[in-house]
Amino acid sequence: MAYLAAWDVRRAKVFGLCETKTGIDAFHRLVDLVMNQEPYRSANRVFWITDNGSSHRGQPSIDRLSEWHPNTVLVHTPVHASWLNQIEIYFSVVQRKVLTPNDFKDLETLEQKILGFQSRYEEIAKPFKWKFTKEDLNRILSNLSEYNNFYTLKVAA
C-alpha cells in the first residue's frame, strides 16, 4: 500500500489517499483530489512542490501537471533535499505516530489508521506562516561571505 499526500501550508490542510501502488496514475488521482475543489480549482496559480520521485520527476512531469490543470506550477526540490518539502515533515510524523510499530492485521486496517490520523492531524495542525524573507536570506549570505570569503548570491523576487 502507498500513502500519497499533499499539504496546504497556508490552510493546514492535508489531502491524502491510499493506493495499491505508486506511479503517474496514483499521483494524478492525488492532484485531482486537490485541484477539483476550491480554492485550488479557481486559483490563478497553485504551486506543487515535489521531490524527484519517479511519478513526478523532470520536465515531463511539469508538462503533464500543467496539462492536467493549467493553473498548476510544479517545483522540484533539489535532489537529496526532500526535507525542504513540508509534506516530508508530515510523513515523518505519520511514520512515528502511525506506522511504528508495523503490526496491522491487514491493509484495510492500515488504511483506516492512516486516514484517521490524517483527519486528526488536521484538527490540531496550524497554518505555516513563513516569516523568513529574501532580505533575511541576503543578510545571512552577506554575513557568510564576510567571514568565509564566499561569493554572495542575491535572491530576487
pLDDT at 156 over 80: no
Q: pLDDT digit string (tens) for 11-50?
A: 999 999 999 999 999 999 999 999 999 999 999 999 999 9
Based on the fold, state whether residues 94 and 135 are members of the same structural domain.
no
Contact 29, 19 (CB under 8 A): yes
State the residue range of the domain holding 133.
129-157
* DSSP calls for the chain: -EEEEEEETTTTEEEEEEESS-SHHHHHHHHHHHHTSTTTTT-S-EEEEE---GGG-HHHHHHHHHHH-TTEEEEEPPTT-GGGSHHHHHHHHHIIIIISS---SSHHHHHHHHHHHHHHHHHH---------HHHHHHHHHHHHHHH-PPPPPP--
* 87 plus 150 within the same structural domain: no
For residues 42 and 116, state if they share a domain: yes
> Is 82 in the same domain as 148?
no
Entry field: residues in the chain: 157
- The verdict on 117 and 86 lying in the same domain is yes
100/153 same-domain check = no
CA distances from 84 to 11, 40, 64, 89, 101 (A): 18, 22, 23, 9, 26
Question: Which pLDDT belongs to residue 142?
Answer: 80
The tens digit of pLDDT for each residue in 84-116 reads 778 888 999 999 999 998 899 999 999 999 999
